[in-house]
């Protein structure tokens, strides 16, 4: 009972703080909310069981690697934001072509990521009901896809997008409650000497390819790149850095607590495994997590659907309207929903975003070589192109990696 009260109070306190004028009216914080919401989204729900099942006690080390990789890719995008907003930006044909290619890569990354979000929405939506089954989860996902298509086709998403700040606040507040519960559970295990230090199931190349396939779980920082109509370049750069640092701290605390507090044999590796695990801490956490999951997945899906439709219309110069972009997204999403599982979609989405990050790194490298940038940036961005290409080519899903 005391733990439940502590969790609820922490959720309430976090909500009040985030809704206070100090935060809600802060330009930097509001600019940070969008990338923060994207990074701490679906990945937070599925990542811990995947890492512990595959990497055991090394899970925090892999998490640190994912956060570092994301921050480095973010540095390339921040470099591009800075140079694009100089009084006299350098005009270069190669950069312009790469920008177009990157935009198309982002369109398809958005389309795959919406499939990832909504399939998790379906799985979590039925998880605590008597209808909990893979088929019913896919039916719910399909219904939400059709709802999004109807809303997007007839009215657009402006009204739904206004829900973003409230949804993000709710999600972050519940994550605070989750961390409070995990700290208590970890402490109780530590004081009784019952922490777990599992051996890694994966090593060598399979361990790398699975990590490549998990880049989607720390994706989202790139959204700062596309907030130029609301915030200046300096604010967007700062917001991306702040979002990535906050997320890295939260993820490291989360994985560090989870990795050693739970016996690997206590859970099956499914997309909703986190619900069963949190039920061992206290019965209130699964319900809170489902609420956070539904809010996070729906708001993220709306944002990426709107973004992809808008980019399609912009890139085709109006020849293909946003409406038809939504249709394409829904068709691709339904095919993935019924033809792949969530873990496969995670790997597909990771590869799609890695393609975008690779192109952004190539743009940064090109700009570094035609401007008075230092050799550290020139070599660093070039290496990021190599890393991104490897992720695109070799990123794998958890089931294939463990089967291998």
Tens digits of per-residue pLDDT, 247-292?
Answer: 899 999 999 999 999 888 877 777 778 888 888 888 888 888 888 7
Nearest to 184 by CA among 324, 333, 285: 285
Tens digits of per-residue pLDDT, 205-240? 999 999 998 888 888 888 777 776 678 888 889 989
pLDDT digits (tens, 9 = 90+) for 117-166: 888 888 888 888 888 898 999 999 999 888 888 887 887 666 555 566 67
The answer to whether residue 104 scores a pLDDT higher than 60 is: yes
Compute CA distances 389 → 137, 153, 360, 362, 394, whole Å.
33, 36, 12, 11, 8
d(CA 338, CA 348): 15
**pLDDT number for residue 388:** 94
Q: Name the pLDDT band for 32 (thresholds 50, 70, 90).
A: confident
Angle among Cα 220, 223, 225 to the nearest 5 degrees reads 135
Give yes or no for residue 399 having a pLDDT over 70: no
Q: What's the confidence (pLDDT) of residue 107?
A: 87
- In this predicted structure, what is the pLDDT of residue 359? 95
Distance linking the first and last C-alpha atoms of the chain: 44
Predicted TM-score (pTM) of this structure: 0.87
Tokens describing residue 124: 């979590």
- Distance, in Å, from the CA atom of 119 to the CA atom of 40, rounded to the nearest integer, reads 17
> What average pLDDT does the segment 318-328 reach?
83
**Is the pLDDT reported for residue 28 higher than 70?**
yes
Cα gap 172→88, rounded to integer Å:
40
Residue 262 exposure: Cα atoms within 13 Å on the Cβ side: 30
Contact 37, 168 (CB under 8 A): yes
What the chain holds in terms of domains, given with CATH numbers, is: 2-15+27-86+94-403 (1.20.1740.10)
Q: How many helices (H) and strands (E) does the chain have?
A: 17, 0
Compare 328 and 296 and report the one with higher pLDDT: 328
pLDDT score recorded for residue 70: 93
Compute the C-alpha angle 383/88/244, nearest 5°: 45
Residue 31 structure tokens: 């600019």
**What is the rounded CA–CA span in Å between residue 31 and residue 242?**
10
> HSE (CB half, 13 Å, CA atoms) of 14?
20
Residue identified by tokens 């997590």 is 289
Residue-level pLDDT at 402: 64
d(CA 61, CA 308): 34
Q: Is 121 helix (H, G, I), strand (E, B) or coil?
A: helix
Contact between 54 and 212 under an 8 Å Cβ cutoff? The reply is no
To 5 degrees, how large is the angle CA 113–CA 119–CA 122? 145
Quick check: 210 and 66 in contact, CB under 8 A? Answer: no
Show the tokens assigned to 185.
Answer: 């559970």
Q: What is the mean pLDDT of residues 90-108?
A: 87
Residue 170 has pLDDT above 70, yes or no: yes
What is the structure's pLDDT at 317? 81
H or E stretch at 260: helix 233-261
Mean pLDDT of 320-342: 87
Share the mean pLDDT of the chain. Answer: 85
DSSP H or E segment with residue 280: helix 273-281
- In the predicted model, is pLDDT for residue 37 greater than 80? no
């Amino acid at each position: 009972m005391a733990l439940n009260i502590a969790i609820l109070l922490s959720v309430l306190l976090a909500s009040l703080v985030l809704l206070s004028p100090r935060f809600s009216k802060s330009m930097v914080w509001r600019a940070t909310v969008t990338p923060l919401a994207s990074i701490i989204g679906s990945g937070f729900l599925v990542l811990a069981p995947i890492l512990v099942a595959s990497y055991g006690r090394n899970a925090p080390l892999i998490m640190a690697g994912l956060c570092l990789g994301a921050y480095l890719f973010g540095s390339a995008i921040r470099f591009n934001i800075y140079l694009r907003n100089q009084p006299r930006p350098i005009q270069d044909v190669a950069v312009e072509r790469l920008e177009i290619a990157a935009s198309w890569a982002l369109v398809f990354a958005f389309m795959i990521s919406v499939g990832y979000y909504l399939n998790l929405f379906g799985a979590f939506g039925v998880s605590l009901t008597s209808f909990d089954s893979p088929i019913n989860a896919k039916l719910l996902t399909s219904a939400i896809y059709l709802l999004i298509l109807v809303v997007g086709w007839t009215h657009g998403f402006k009204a739904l997008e206004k829900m973003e700040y409230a949804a993000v606040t709710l999600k972050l507040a519940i994550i605070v409650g989750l961390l409070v519960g995990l700290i208590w559970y970890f402490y109780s295990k530590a004081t009784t000497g019952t922490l777990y230090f599992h051996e890694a199931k994966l090593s060598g190349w399979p361990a790398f390819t699975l990590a490549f396939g998990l880049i989607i779980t720390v994706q989202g920082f790139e959204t700062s790149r596309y907030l130029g109509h609301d915030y200046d370049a300096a604010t967007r750069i700062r917001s991306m850095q702040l979002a990535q640092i906050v997320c890295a701290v939260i993820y490291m605390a989360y994985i560090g607590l989870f990795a050693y507090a739970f016996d690997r044999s206590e859970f099956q590796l499914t997309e909703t495994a986190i619900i069963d695990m949190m039920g061992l801490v206290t019965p209130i956490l699964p319900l809170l997590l489902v609420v956070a999951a539904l809010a996070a997945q729906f708001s993220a899906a709306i944002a990426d659907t709107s973004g992809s439709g808008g980019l399609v219309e912009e890139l085709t110069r109006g020849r293909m309207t946003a409406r038809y972009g939504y249709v394409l997204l829904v068709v691709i999403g339904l095919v993935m929903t019924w033809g792949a599982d969530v873990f496969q979609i995670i790997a597909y989405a990771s590869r799609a975003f890695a393609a975008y990050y690779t192109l952004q790194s190539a743009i940064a490298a090109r700009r570094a070589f035609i401007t008075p940038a230092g050799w550290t940036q020139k070599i660093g961005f070039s290496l990021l192109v190599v890393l991104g290409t490897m992720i695109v080519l070799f990123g794998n899903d958890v089931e294939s990696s463990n089967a291998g």
